[in-house]
Amino acid sequence: MADRFKRCTKIGYRTERDARVALVEAIIAKNRGRNQRKERRVYECPICHRWHLTSQPLPPPSPPA
Ligand SMILES: [Zn+2]
């Protein structure tokens, strides 16, 4: 497969499952006061096609078709 990777500054997870595990861990860390982040959901990135965590309640806008 061609390397379509584009620069993305966020941590990316290869699968939704991996991202959800990381999300749960982030929430646990936050509840313990070890993390100032507030991620609440995961989404598939249209740029790097990996999964990211986000604090935004809504999905990012879809790119134009
Ligand atoms: Zn990305």
Q: Please spell the DSSP secondary structure of 36-55, one letter per residue.
A: -----EEEE-TTTSSEEEES
The dihedral built from the CA positions of residue 6, 37, 40 and 22, taken in this order, carries a sign that is: positive
**Which residues form the domain of 35?**
10-54
Give SS3 for 56.
Answer: coil
Q: Is residue 63 in some structural domain?
A: no
If one counts the domains in the chain, the total is: 1
Q: How far is the CA of 44 from the centre of ligand 1 (A)?
A: 8
Q: How far is the CA of 63 from the centre of ligand 1 (A)?
A: 13
Q: How far is the CA of 62 from the centre of ligand 1 (A)?
A: 14
pTM equals 0.70
The model's pLDDT over 5-61, given as tens digits with 9 standing for 90+, comes to 567 888 899 999 999 999 999 999 999 998 777 899 999 998 899 999 999 877 656
Q: Is residue 4 in some structural domain?
A: no
All residues with CB under 5 Å from ion ligand 1: 8, 45, 47-48
8 touches 45 (CB < 8 A): yes
Amino acid in position 54: T
Q: Is residue 38 in some structural domain?
A: yes
pLDDT at 20: 97
Q: Is residue 59 in some structural domain?
A: no
pLDDT at 6: 61
Q: Is residue 30 in some structural domain?
A: yes
